[in-house]
Amino acid sequence: MSLAMETGLCQGNDDPNPNETLKIPERLLKRDQARLKEAERRKDVKESSSVAEENSDVFFTTFNSERASIDALLSTCTETTRENASEVLEEATIKTQQLQQFLNDSMMFLTPFNLKQAQATLQALQTSLSEKRDEVLPKKKFAFKSRNVKGKTTLSPSSSITEIPRAARDKKTTVDTAVSPMQCGFSSADSQVLIKTADEIQQRDVLLSHLTGCKVRLLGSPSTLHIKHVRDCEILCGPVSSSVFVDQCTGCTLALPCQQLRTHNTKDTRIYLHVTSRAIIEDCQGVSFAPFTWTYSNLDADFTVSGLDRNRNNWDQVDDFNWLAAGTPSPNWTIIPENDRKTSWDELLPASSE
């Protein structure tokens, strides 16, 4: 009951001056108003907390159900059913992408702990999917002979790899490329220029692993991008429809647009980023961020294919899961000063067909 109501009850017929208004000190009125506002605020917080808990319960019920269905799909995919393996893996990949989108859409009401738990589960599921591909589908390995090029480095239309010019270096490099109809990429390369065109990517999952001193150009819109065990590389990628996962990356420069960025075990790496949610780092040191600045001829079309919002970029909104001190910036990441940002990039594009 407010102070004004209590005052009204105190006035009755026995009051010798019933028409006289009781004067209430202003400080008491302000205190009463503040008490009412605080009570209303607590009520709103309680209701919001209840709604968030209900949404979280619904999320995990749906999330776990979909994850179980994907696990069931993968369990039916064996070497004895290789003729159907490609279709099963494609269906599992699509379901996994849909689950990633569901998680992205639910971030706003998940607690940091629940978000981290769901993201770890999803990453484990994506790893299981990749391992299942390796198990039931044969890998194809292609060897491309590297070559030294003077001036601008270009590629012939039939090749996806050439060597970065270096003195006294002329060797063969084996590159592990597409492992299934839904995945492509490069691995086990040293000091090479590696390029994938939009026609090769076609909304596939792209995997880059075990690369050293390479320049990578992904000219198109991948569905997801995995970067693992890379050192001293420059990786530029077109718009990624869903997530980019970076793990064990050292001394690299990355430029990419995506819906979500997860970075683990990464050191001394610069990231030129366009991200529509929030970037997440974990177990990282010396990571720095700046806005995405790379461009190429079909970038606008690839943004359309990816579905990313070009007007929404949270490149400087980074959550460090190893730094929970509220109000104190994480020492594990920084913003690249404007005068130190890279704005022009080497034009390592496929040569014309002339």
Contact 233/213 with Cβ under 8 angstroms? yes
Q: What is the pLDDT of residue 208?
A: 94
- Residue 352's identity, in one-letter code, is S
Give the whole-number percent of the chain exceeding pLDDT 70.
72
The whole-number average pLDDT for the span 214-233 is 94
Per the model's pLDDT, the better-predicted residue between 111 and 330 turns out to be 330
Contact 260/101 with Cβ under 8 angstroms? no
In the predicted model, is pLDDT for residue 332 greater than 80?
Answer: yes
Per the model's pLDDT, the better-predicted residue between 265 and 164 turns out to be 265
In the predicted model, is pLDDT for residue 1 greater than 90?
Answer: no
User: In whole angstroms, what is the distance from residue 7 CA to residue 151 CA?
Assistant: 90
CA dihedral of residues 310, 313, 315, 319 (deg, nearest 10): -130
Closest CA to 220 of 208, 206, 209: 206
Q: Can you name the residues that pair with 298 across neighbouring β-strands?
A: none
Contact 233/271 with Cβ under 8 angstroms? no
User: Which pairing describes strands 279-282 and 253-258: parallel, antiparallel, or unpaired?
Assistant: unpaired
Lowest mean pLDDT among 24-28, 226-230, 278-282, 296-300: 24-28
Q: Which three-class secondary structure state does DSSP give residue 302?
A: helix
CA dihedral of residues 325, 331, 335, 336 (deg, nearest 10): 180
- Residue 109's identity, in one-letter code, is F
Per the model's pLDDT, the better-predicted residue between 167 and 165 turns out to be 165
Contact 227/254 with Cβ under 8 angstroms? yes
Contact 232/267 with Cβ under 8 angstroms? no
User: In whole angstroms, what is the distance from residue 279 CA to residue 287 CA?
Assistant: 12
Q: What is the pLDDT of residue 144?
A: 39
User: In whole angstroms, what is the distance from residue 34 CA to residue 91 CA?
Assistant: 57
Contact 318/335 with Cβ under 8 angstroms? no
The whole-number average pLDDT for the span 1-26 is 55
For residue range 29-81, list pLDDT tens digits in order: 777 777 777 777 766 655 555 545 567 788 888 888 888 888 888 888 776 66
Q: How far is CA 257 from the centre of its chain?
A: 9
The whole-number average pLDDT for the span 117-131 is 80
**What residues contact residue 289 under an 8 Å CB cut-off, 6+ apart?**
270, 271, 272, 273, 279, 315, 316, 318, 333, 334, 335, 336
- Coarse DSSP helix, strand, coil percentages of the chain, rounded to the nearest 5 percent: 35, 30, 35
Contact 277/260 with Cβ under 8 angstroms? yes
Contact 216/233 with Cβ under 8 angstroms? yes
User: In whole angstroms, what is the distance from residue 132 CA to residue 93 CA?
Assistant: 11
Contact 208/184 with Cβ under 8 angstroms? no
Contact 78/107 with Cβ under 8 angstroms? no
The whole-number average pLDDT for the span 166-187 is 49
- Which of 31-45, 47-61, 132-146, 240-254 is the most confident on average? 240-254
- Which whole-number Å values give the CA distances from 236 to 139, 195, 280, 349, 354, in the listed order? 25, 10, 19, 12, 26
In the predicted model, is pLDDT for residue 107 greater than 60?
Answer: yes
